[in-house]
Amino acid sequence: MIIRLAESKDVKVIQNLCDVFYFVYTDALLDSIKRKRVLVAEESDKVLGVVIYALKEKKVSVLVVDKEQRGKGIGKALFEESVRFFNVTQMKIMATEDPTNSVPFWKAMGFFPLPQIVKTKRGNKLRPMIYIKEKKQ
Ligand SMILES: CC(C)(COP(=O)(O)OP(=O)(O)OC[C@H]1O[C@@H](n2cnc3c(N)ncnc32)[C@H](O)[C@@H]1OP(=O)(O)O)[C@@H](O)C(=O)NCCC(=O)NCCS
């Protein structure tokens, strides 16, 4: 598996991956790709996961792995590469708690949950979580 910057040819597959939760607008996605804010995990020419980094908010705004490919370390590899590539030291994200519970994943990535849950218009429950990168001694 490799992790690389997304290209405009990846737009459709990225939108399909994200579709479960969010509709990612084509123009906004192309703009993020152009600005080098989107990384994809790829194996045998197949995109298996995506991470989008929101530069203004300084946080991962989207991280999704293909349903068939979860639990194999792809999400972790994408998160770790985004921390390195985007030079992250800390960030606050909104983790989905319902319909899919991604909180255990983010805990495994070193995030701490905050108490107040937010409900979206779609009825999804989001849990704010905070990440502070450990300093190497
Ligand atoms: C959340 C998601 C990105 C995780 O990707 P993944 O490739 O399945 O995760 P990984 O295999 O890299 O798991 C990394 C670590 O998280 C842990 N983890 C992942 N999901 C977990 C779960 N449901 N319960 C407990 N631990 C979990 C793994 O055990 C692993 O821990 P380790 O590093 O100690 O071995 C993926 O499940 C997904 O796309 N979910 C739907 C979209 C989503 O919810 N995105 C987040 C929105 S905020």
Q: Does residue 123 come out as left (phi exceeding 0), alpha (psi in the -120 to 50 range) or beta?
A: left
Measured in Å, residue 32 CA sits from the centre of ligand 1 at 24
Please give the Cα distance from 1 to 4 (Å, whole number). 10
Query: Over 90: is that where the pLDDT of 122 sits?
Result: no
Could you identify the atom of ligand 1 that is nearest to the CA of residue 108? 16
| 67-90 residue pLDDT tens | 999 999 999 999 999 999 999 999
> Can you give the pLDDT at residue 137?
67
Q: Whose CA is nearest to atom 7 of ligand 1?
A: 75
| Structural tokens at position 112 | 């701490």
**Dihedral, CA of residue 81, residue 82, residue 84 and residue 85, to nearest 10:** 110
What is the helix (H) or strand (E) element at residue 104, kind and residue range?
helix 103-108
Strand, helix or coil for residue 126 = strand
Please give the Cα distance from 65 to 69 (Å, whole number). 7
Mean pLDDT of the chain: 94
Is residue 48 in contact with ligand 1, taking CB distance under 6 Å? no
This prediction's pTM: 0.94
Categorize the per-residue pLDDT at 19 as very low, low, confident or very high, splitting at 50, 70 and 90: confident
Categorize the per-residue pLDDT at 108 as very low, low, confident or very high, splitting at 50, 70 and 90: very high
* Residue 81 or residue 98, greater confidence: 81
Query: Over 90: is that where the pLDDT of 22 sits?
Result: no
| 42-69 residue pLDDT tens | 999 999 999 999 989 999 999 999 999 9
Please give the Cα distance from 125 to 137 (Å, whole number). 37
Q: Whose CA is nearest to atom 27 of ligand 1?
A: 105
Residue ranges and CATH numbers for the domains of the chain are 1-88 (3.40.630.30), 89-137 (no CATH)
> Can you give the pLDDT at residue 94?
93
